[in-house]
Amino acid sequence: MCQKVTAQPRYVIFYNVKSFFVVTIRTPVQGVFCRSCADEKALRSTVITWLLGWWGFPWGIVYSTHAIINNLLGGSKPKDVNARLLSYQAYVFATQGKYDLARAVGADALDLSRSSKSTSLQILLVSLLQALDNGKPINRLQDTWALLSCGFYLQIALIVGAIVTTLNFLPPNLESSTQSSSATTTQPKSTASVKPAYVRPGLADNGTPFPANSGYVDGYPYTLTDGYSNITIDNTQNDFDVFIKLFSLDVEKPKPVRVIFIRAKEQFVIEKIRAGNYDVRYRNLYTGALFRSEPLQLQEFRTATGVRFSDVTLTLYKLRNGNAQTYTISEGEF
């Protein structure tokens, strides 16, 4: 949001919820933030949820409660992703000659990697800290991500204010009011229109025809090509075509940097991607369903023999003993 450089960024996921009778939409608000920007995003998401999240049955109440608690506790911070994010920060500070700061950030990254049980990352971080060791104790950074922050107290004040306001406006005869409300809110169910069946589009959402073979779709951005990393999208076990967008998460509003069409039973390699944070979002062109991957952190390290870089494979089907997750998303997020 603020574009400033911080030694303690975090990848955080907040949620806001909007409901209308039987329709409830839960939207993740995610990105790499400093603490002040994270507090602002959390408060904004909580306000939206308080105002718009409760008016759907049954998921409005369930999702709104989860979103408010998640935002109040500082959002969801995947430890593995943040360990890799801080390890990259430590490496950058080391290349800039800021060795004390690199050691402090590297120590924080090592703590997170131990919590996430990422053995390979722990080995890299231990090697980095050993290389930077100057015989002095590491001067650890103050934790700016402690729970009791300004954003926490603002959200507590918002919750207390909402409860007090609700109690002041409760009708004297709660039972009759509840019956009347129930009769009113169930009426739209009978008049709701049936959602039409999905029809596969003949064109991409920019009006360009899909290519005959798996490959990039014309008319979309093709950027961040000055890196070494690769992502292989594996659709070889599926009987449906997919429409893929690779989103960069290193900006205030995530944006697509590559757009690809992959045929059923095929795979495609996205090459020469700049180091950074990304996710993959895709549409199943048979059902129309939309999904996104977990955040992916692509890294590059210069060594005496060349450059070490990330080479990631993302499968669009279930793997035995696999632990990668996908999440449904809305049209607006795609």
Cα gap 94→106, rounded to integer Å: 10
Q: In which residue are the tokens 């998303």 written?
A: 329
227 by DSSP, 3-state: which? coil
| CA–CA distances in Å: residue 121 to residues 41, 101, 125, 143, 289 | 29, 19, 6, 21, 34
Q: Token digits for 75?
A: 């959002």
Between β-strands 229-234 and 311-315, what pairing exists: parallel, antiparallel or unpaired? Answer: parallel
228 by DSSP, 3-state: which? coil
Cα gap 156→16, rounded to integer Å: 17
Cα gap 89→105, rounded to integer Å: 7
Q: Quick one: DSSP state of residue 142? A: P
Indicate the burial class of 301 (C-beta count within 10 angstroms; 0-12, 13-18, 19 or more).
Answer: middle
Cα gap 266→269, rounded to integer Å: 11
Cα gap 39→51, rounded to integer Å: 18
Q: Which of 1-10, 53-62, 173-182, 241-250 has the highest mean pLDDT?
A: 241-250
Q: Token digits for 82?
A: 């943040």
- pLDDT of residue 120 exceeding 70, the answer is yes
Q: What percent of the chain has pLDDT over 90?
A: 39
260 by DSSP, 3-state: which? strand
- What are the pLDDT digits (tens) for 222-256? 999 999 999 999 999 999 999 999 999 999 899 99
Q: What is the model's pLDDT at position 91?
A: 85
Who has greater pLDDT, 325 or 207?
Answer: 207
Cα gap 117→71, rounded to integer Å: 25
Q: What count of Cα atoms within 13 Å lies in the side-chain half-sphere of residue 156? A: 9
Q: What percent of the chain has pLDDT over 70?
A: 87
- What are the pLDDT digits (tens) for 299-334? 999 888 889 999 999 998 876 655 568 889 998 999
Q: Under a CB-based contact definition with an 8 Å cutoff, are residues 68 and 50 in contact?
A: yes
Cα gap 197→180, rounded to integer Å: 35
Secondary structure element (H or E) that encloses residue 87, with its range:
helix 79-95
Q: What is the model's pLDDT at position 170?
A: 63
Q: Token digits for 207?
A: 């009006």
Q: What is the model's pLDDT at position 310?
A: 92
Cα gap 32→81, rounded to integer Å: 10
Who has greater pLDDT, 211 or 170?
Answer: 211
The three-state DSSP-derived secondary structure of 20-40 is EECEEEEEEEEEEECHHHHHH
Q: Note the residue count of the chain.
A: 334
φ, ψ (nearest 5 deg) of residue 42: -65, -45
Q: In which residue are the tokens 């608690």 written?
A: 69
Q: Which residues contact 243 (CB under 8 A, 6 or more apart)?
A: 204, 210, 217, 259, 260, 261, 282, 283, 285
Q: Under a CB-based contact definition with an 8 Å cutoff, are residues 325 and 316 in contact?
A: no
